Amino acid sequence: MIAINHHLQASDLLSKLTSFWELSGNKIKLINKNYDVSKGSPVFTVKGKYSTRGWTEWTQGFQFGSAILQYDATGEKEFLESGRKKTLEVMAPHISHIGVHDHGFNNVSTYGNLLRLMHEGKTDYNEWEKNFYELALKISGAVQASRWTNIKNGGFIHSFNGPHSLFVDTIRSCRALVVSHLLGHVFQAENDVKINLLERALLHIKATADYSVFYGEGRDSYDIWGRTAHESVFNTKDGNFRCPNSQQGYSGFTTWTRGLAWAMCGFAEELECLETITDAELEIVGGRKQTETFMLKAAKATCDFYIEHTPIDGIPYWDTGAPNLYELGDYSERPADPYNDFEPVDSSAAAIGAQGLLRLGKYLSGKGQAEDGKKYTQTGLTVLNTLLDEPYQSTDPNHQGLLLHSIYHRPNGWDYVPEESKIPYGESSMWGDYHMRELALYVQRMINKEPYYTFYSCVQ
């Protein structure tokens, strides 16, 4: 389990963060200079060069969102102009993309961050530009909400696999629905029937909590507090849940750690957002107490599982049930080894999960639960401290990635394996790089006592 550094302060990381942003800026410039945009969105690196992979277009918002975060952290206007220009030129198809469950990734990371910076006074105020960003976010949330499957106790935003498929990842796309709702958008269907976007977001989060997260309550033989399944499969004829499954993890009965991290971050940030929503609005899903209770239970369970089943330095292997982990012996009682001969680590899961730990820690501290709040906060800082050092920082000036040892799709064999190795290592992903920047920005803004960074800060 993670060896939590209980004495580490966020301010202790300031010098590392300064070096990180310098490195980050160089990587963005390197990609802008060398990546061939005609090949599609950059997804992950092969021998240090970003490549694409046609599955779904879910990473382009991370590319341009990274430049926007870089400006936020450093004030370097060239990154703002680059991110803003590319958002205008390239991102429109992502707003109306009906074939993906990734609107919270692509559009909140670009249009949302640009709108937030304007509200914070970090960019010049322009009424038409503000309206443009708001319109993009309104429509994006509605398009995402249209991927809807009804089940016996609610419904969910279905994955690109089809209407039977609930992905744990999609909890982070609930941001798109919530932002659209907070901006006052009216989503209409046949016969002008109005669909409540907040209700759909919260029903999806509830389905994720009920079916993607396990609580040690005897659901099956592998029911452990906080374990997650990547995919939950439903019978669309009668709305019944059928089984857990996995696309990118080892199996439906093991825990793919990036899926776990999406849940950790998603539940924590949506818990924070509940503070901005009125009691009356929450009555449609059973009220505030019921909603907060199930979301907090899922957030704590997933974060606890991460702490318990991750090596001491806070970097997980790609799946806690990966078939060759036994070859590593007692791997959880020593730092993760990205260069081992048996199973790869996934640093992107660490970057995503650490943000969830920090947000949950702050939420609980604000509720007067100081001891639990400190546990999760200190764990998040411990993970970040590891990620800010080698071998996870990509210091090679010719490597286009920022965060090393990220894994995309181990079962499909999509990750590059060096000739001298039996497993993939040493590569980066666009989501890993973006979430590493988001994590670093979150902590830096807290150190500098800037406004607290949330996805819903784009709504004034």
Going by the annotation, the residues of the binding site for substrate are 102, 258, 262
Q: How many CB atoms lie within 10 A of CB 75?
A: 10
Both tokens assigned to 324: 């060759």
Torsion angle (degrees, nearest 10) of CA 98, 101, 104, 110: -50
- Cα-Cα-Cα-Cα dihedral sign, residues 191, 197, 202, 208: positive
Let me know the angle formed at the C-alpha of 397 by 385 and 355, rounded to the nearest 5 degrees: 25
Which amino acids are annotated as binding site, given as ranges? 102, 258, 262
CB 258 within 8 A of CB 248: yes
Least Cα distance to 459 among 82, 94, 93, 198 occurs for 198
Q: Encoding tokens for residue 294?
A: 């199930």
Which residues share a beta bridge with 46?
49
d(C-alpha 74, C-alpha 70), whole Å: 6
Q: What are the structure tokens assigned to 139, written together?
A: 């429509």
Distance (Å, whole) CA 143 – CA 147:
7
Q: Are 126 and 116 in contact (CB under 8 A)?
A: no
Give the Cα separation of 155 and 28 in Å (integer). Answer: 39
DSSP lists the bridge partners of residue 213 as: 228
